[in-house]
Structure 1
Amino acid sequence: MSSKRTALGHGPPQADGLAPAEALSEYAEPGDDGFRQTLSNLQIQMIAIGGAVGVGLFLGLGERLRTAGPGLVFSYLVVSVVVYLLMRALGELVVYRPTTGAFVSYAREFVGPRFAHLTGWIYVTLGSLAAVAETAAVAVYAGYWFPDLPGWVPSVLALCLIAGSNLLTARAFGFIEVAASSVKIAAIVLFLAAGVLVIAFGDAAGVRNEASVTHLWADGGLFPNGVWPAVIVMQAVVFSYSAIEIAGISAGEAKDPGGAMPKAIRSVVLRIGVFYLGSIVVLSMLLPTRRYSGAESPFVTALGSLGIPYLGGIMNFVVLTAAISGVNATLYASVRMLRNLAANGTAPRAAARMTKNGVPVGALLGIGTFCLAGLLLIFFAGAGNAFEITLHACAVCILFGWVAIFVSHLGFRREVAAGRIAPVAFRMPGAPWTDWLCLAALAAVFAAMVFDFSQPTWYYSLFAAVALLVVHNLTYEIATRRRTPHDSADGAPAEPR
């Protein structure tokens, strides 16, 4: 792939959302060199679903239901609106210029190199922590069959399997994600259908169950512990939707990004929203929400209550597959982010190394090594505790990544308004006002998360946010002093817009 990406000129939009005409500006992205455009529209959708429909739904949802009650559906609804606008903002940027660097590359072009460095390294940190969280979830699921097996054993095996799949070409990786995501989608659809049938006709069919629509308002109502827990839990809700932005990262390896991305974004946001909101409602009706916990998947808990042999075990296999798929997609994204940083001179040069088949092997080895070190947390703290610890640490990184997308989109819209960049047909509704509205919503979530004085460890998230900003600002200073301005990783001069 050429490192040249030409911004689109003025003219009537085509069916794919692009407007071809004379180029008004040009941006060179060295991070795109070496990648191959082989991913189809279906593969892009499945990669995004594979990242966003993982442990956040299949494991973390249990503890959230117990904490917030059936009213959790409103927490997800609020975040779903932000996620929809987030993906529309990212989609507009992707149609303008597809790149494997995604929002890191857009941050560099429309905000500045320091902001891009912070965005990239915080996302790499997120990817590494999320991989540890999801491999910890693998250990929790494996404990369903092997309760005496040390949690680090299945975690190491899963990580090796996932690293191996990421060594394959993007096309082969895409096929794996299509298969894994298909299992998740089929399982969720079947669960929702079966749950509705049990709720409606379970007694008449003689199925042993505790299902009742009254669970939605019984035992304390929609918010049995008050409204505040439903607000606090939004940090975990944000984690659930994290990795949906992988659709934007995969655009740099798409066959037809201009046509595929608008379709992928519309369908992915709709499907994931239905999966999450539908699952919360059905789970809340199958059992009282106080019966769920973070000790096992709420789907396993709900199906196990029906007394049907092997049903819980089958669902546990599905959620195990989902966790592995989630790590796979997360690693895919963070590896490409690290490679982009290296290609632009703000990460070690070794991370820029590519194979002849277009695999960023240098970045993969770097993040894989970090993940192996992170498994020590599972060894010492246990799989369940490791999952909760890394989940809260991830929330800060996710919020910053989403903020970066909206801020970069505001920069893009300013360039469009000034006439330096032509608009594209696939646009974020209501921008720039919706950008500011979403930024305010994310700021509120962050404030609720770091100033939750009801928790003795309320300051952990604030400390993590400050530490991330300080450390990565220092690494930016070190990186820029070790290279000449505007030099890429291979020594060729970059071409700023």
Structure 2
Amino acid sequence: MSTDQSIDSSPTVASTAPPAYVDAGDAGFKPGLSNLQIQMIALGGAVGTGLFLGVGSRIAQAGPALAISYILAGLVVYAMMRALGQMVLYRPTTGAFVSYAREFVSDRLSFFTGWIYVTLAAMIGCVEIAAVGVYVNFWFPDVPGWIPALLAIVFVIGVNLLSVRAFGVMELGAAGIKIISVIVFIIIGVIAILMAAFGRPLGESIASVTNLWEHGGFMPNGGLAIVLVMQGVVFSFSGVEIVANSAGEAKDPQRTMPKAIRSVMTRILLFYIGSVLILAMMLPFSDYSGDESPFVTALGSIGITGLSGVMNFVVLTAALSGLNATIYATARPLRNLSANKRAPEFTGKMSHRGTPVGALTVICGVLVIGVVLILFFGAMGAFELILGSVSVLILFGWITIFLSHLGFLRQVDQGLVPAPTFRAGGRVVDYICLALLGAMALWMLFNFTNPTWYYPPIAVAIVMVVLTIACGIVRRKYPETPTRTVAVTTVRERS
């Protein structure tokens, strides 16, 4: 009798793969964003009102050295986006870093992060509608700023209520306009500088490379000014993380997200640092102010005043794009909080089109408060008032991303999540960035050079006390969230 066996009788064994984390906040959304739309959302998130309007007053304060402020902040943002990219590719979700804070750190941090980010994004939305009022006043100085601000809210909320595809189409068009316009402006600026250098200035242009070190020097107000303008610089980068929210509704996030995240540093160098240097060379820094877009001021200086109106249309489009992106980025975390029993139930309502109608309705109501601020303080006054209040909250969101990434790396070491294939800075870079962001936040909270320095710490203290009480109440009522982990088993046969 043959002893050869053709059938292996070894037992079948089951191996357990790392648990798959499922977030209840992702239910109901539909993937509708294409590769091109994702790329333009990433571009649009990095370029907005902070560049087109806010840079004017920052140049007047820091001079050409403003470029250094953008380089320093840009390096931190780049490290943050690489860290966020590893988590996004591990698990794309509309909840973004609110969801990652819950999975990798704690439900408590997720609660604080979610509500602070929702508050922050709503305030940034108010900044954007205030900017709309400023831009419309360029053509219609007698029109009260609150009227175009209110019309902007109605239009953009309507677009977001339609579908994520409608949001993507609007952002594709608006982001495309402002990106192309910045590139065209840089080209025109370079031409003006070269023409002036060869003795053929455009109009009454005084464009010159020497403007970088003349009129008081590269740092006309000293090195401290580089720090003093950091609030505005931080605000400029505040929309860059929106690309993480879009991953949950992307058609192919594993292919599109790495491209979008890798290009962040290129955008920062070209659009921010490049624009600041061109602006500083086209006019002495003291010729800029916060009364109008610095791009409009610079174009007017070379005698092509007709383009000033065109540029004002561009920056108006940028403000609408920023408002569109902000509303999108606010609604998703708010819906995520609601789905996880950390926000009122009605804010989690979804439409049959896959849009968070409950969250969008609440955001609309909050933005109306911005209209009231414009009514009392004027469009420009409301812009600066809100801008000074949001920078610390922006830093809190960035700090959360680095804390979540450290938790993500711990779980990678423990084998609970797969090792990332997308490269990031690692723990050392995370700790360095956390130290820098912490120091920056403390300075913003206790900036004694500001006569009203005590406003930010009082406001932050009130917010933290309110959230601590609210978190305690909610966690007692709902100790567990609907978010869950599901063990995935696979079966293999021995041969």
TM-score, length-scaled by structure 1: 0.92
Could you say which residue in structure 2 is the equivalent of 1:452?
Answer: 447
**Residue among 341, 346, 349 paired with 1:353:** 349
Deviation at 1:64, TM superposition (A): 0.3
Give distance in 1, aligned partners of 2:395 and 2:340: 24
Could you say which residue in structure 1 is the equivalent of 2:247?
Answer: 251
Could you say which residue in structure 2 is the equivalent of 1:198?
Answer: 192
Deviation at 1:442, TM superposition (A): 0.6
Q: Which amino acid is 1:180 matched to?
A: A
Give distance in 1, aligned partners of 2:269 and 2:326: 19
Could you say which residue in structure 1 is the equivalent of 2:436?
Answer: 441
Structure 1 residues 194 and 445: CA distance shift in structure 2, 3 A: same
Could you say which residue in structure 2 is the equivalent of 1:274?
Answer: 270
Give distance in 1, aligned partners of 2:17 and 2:26: 20
Give distance in 2, aligned partners of 1:82 and 1:113: 26
Q: Which amino acid is 1:328 matched to?
A: N
Secondary structure of the equivalent of 1:27? Answer: strand
Could you say which residue in structure 1 is the equivalent of 2:68?
Answer: 74
Give distance in 1, aligned partners of 2:305 and 2:204: 12
**Residue among 32, 43, 48 paired with 1:54:** 48
Deviation at 1:309, TM superposition (A): 3.6
Which residues in structure 2 correspond to 1:16-415 (within 5 Å)?
23-202=17-196, 203-204=199-200, 206-415=202-411
Deviation at 1:268, TM superposition (A): 3.5
| Larger deviation, residues 471-480 vs 153-162 | 471-480
Post-superposition CA distance 1:368-425 (Å, at most 9, x none) = 1111122111110111111011111110110000000000000000111122222110
Cα contact 1:52–1:326 (8 A) shared by 2: no
Could you say which residue in structure 2 is the equivalent of 1:10?
Answer: none
Secondary structure of the equivalent of 1:439? Answer: helix
Cα contact 1:199–1:285 (8 A) shared by 2: yes
**Higher alpha-carbon Rg:** 2
Give distance in 2, aligned partners of 1:350 and 1:258: 32
Deviation at 1:50, TM superposition (A): 1.9
Cα contact 2:202–2:302 (8 A) shared by 1: no
Cα contact 1:351–1:362 (8 A) shared by 2: yes
Q: Which amino acid is 1:76 matched to?
A: Y
Cα contact 1:120–1:337 (8 A) shared by 2: yes
Q: Which amino acid is 2:43 matched to?
A: I
Deviation at 1:52, TM superposition (A): 2.5
Deviation at 1:22, TM superposition (A): 6.4
Deviation at 1:23, TM superposition (A): 2.8
Q: Which amino acid is 1:326 matched to?
A: G
Give distance in 2, aligned partners of 1:216 and 1:94: 40
Secondary structure of the equivalent of 1:226? Answer: coil
Q: Which amino acid is 1:315 matched to?
A: M
Unaligned runs of 5+ in 1: 1-20
Post-superposition CA distance 1:331-362 (Å, at most 9, x none) = 10010010000000010000110011100000
Secondary structure of the equivalent of 1:167? Answer: helix
Post-superposition CA distance 1:90-141 (Å, at most 9, x none) = 0000011110001000000111111000000000001110000110011011
Q: Which amino acid is 2:430 matched to?
A: D
Cα contact 2:192–2:202 (8 A) shared by 1: no
Give distance in 1, aligned partners of 2:371 and 2:484: 38
Structure 1 residues 495 and 424: CA distance shift in structure 2, 3 A: closer
Cα contact 2:46–2:267 (8 A) shared by 1: no
Give distance in 1, aligned partners of 2:202 and 2:243: 44
Moved over 4 A (4+): 493-497
Structure 1 residues 206 and 409: CA distance shift in structure 2, 3 A: closer
1:467 aligns with 2:489: no
Cα contact 1:396–1:464 (8 A) shared by 2: no
Cα contact 1:137–1:384 (8 A) shared by 2: yes
Give distance in 1, aligned partners of 2:191 and 2:211: 16
Could you say which residue in structure 1 is the equivalent of 2:492?
Answer: none
Cα contact 1:231–1:448 (8 A) shared by 2: no
Deviation at 1:205, TM superposition (A): 5.8
Deviation at 1:440, TM superposition (A): 0.8
| Larger deviation, residues 317-326 vs 207-216 | 207-216
Give distance in 1, aligned partners of 2:154 and 2:269: 31
Structure 1 residues 199 and 100: CA distance shift in structure 2, 3 A: same
Among all aligned residue pairs of Structure 1 and Structure 2, give the percentage whose two residues are the same amino acid: 52
Cα contact 1:48–1:244 (8 A) shared by 2: yes
Post-superposition CA distance 1:245-284 (Å, at most 9, x none) = 0011100001111111111111233123310000000000
TM-score, length-scaled by structure 2: 0.93
Q: Which amino acid is 2:334 matched to?
A: L
1:423 aligns with 2:427: no
Deviation at 1:487, TM superposition (A): 4.2
Q: Which amino acid is 2:272 matched to?
A: Y
